[in-house]
Amino acid sequence: MFYYVYILKSFKNNSLYIGYTSNLKKRFKSHNLGQNKATRPFIPYQLIYYEAFFNRVDAKNREVYLKGGYGRKTINRLLKTFLNK
């Protein structure tokens, strides 16, 4: 089983949402159906990035890192071309 860290971009206000899950397709669909309180106001979303991990703890640690200051800088470097469109 894989665990995924993912980044969504809102079409509504271009904000980013970072999360992790074991079922990426189901989780992405639930975000766009408004089933998640934190993301509901900003739907629809586009999946712009994900990473796969074999271990849940590693995925959670990566999510926490990406949500922090250095993680945001990493996201900006990884997705520089995409985010500057």
- What is the distance between the alpha carbons of residues 49 and 65, in angstroms, rounded to a whole number? 15
* Structural domain total, the chain: 1
pLDDT tens digits for 41-68?
999 999 999 999 999 999 999 999 999 9
Closest CA to 10 of 61, 21, 20, 36: 36
- Decide the pairing of beta strands 16-21 and 45-53: unpaired
Closest CA to 1 of 53, 59, 47: 53
Query: What was the pLDDT predicted at 52?
Result: 98
pLDDT tens digits for 23-37?
999 999 999 999 999
CATH code of residue 26:
3.40.1440.10
Residue-range definition of the domain harbouring residue 13: 3-83
Query: What was the pLDDT predicted at 24?
Result: 98
- What is the distance between the alpha carbons of residues 45 and 7, in angstroms, rounded to a whole number? 10
User: For 4-24, what is the mean pLDDT?
Assistant: 96
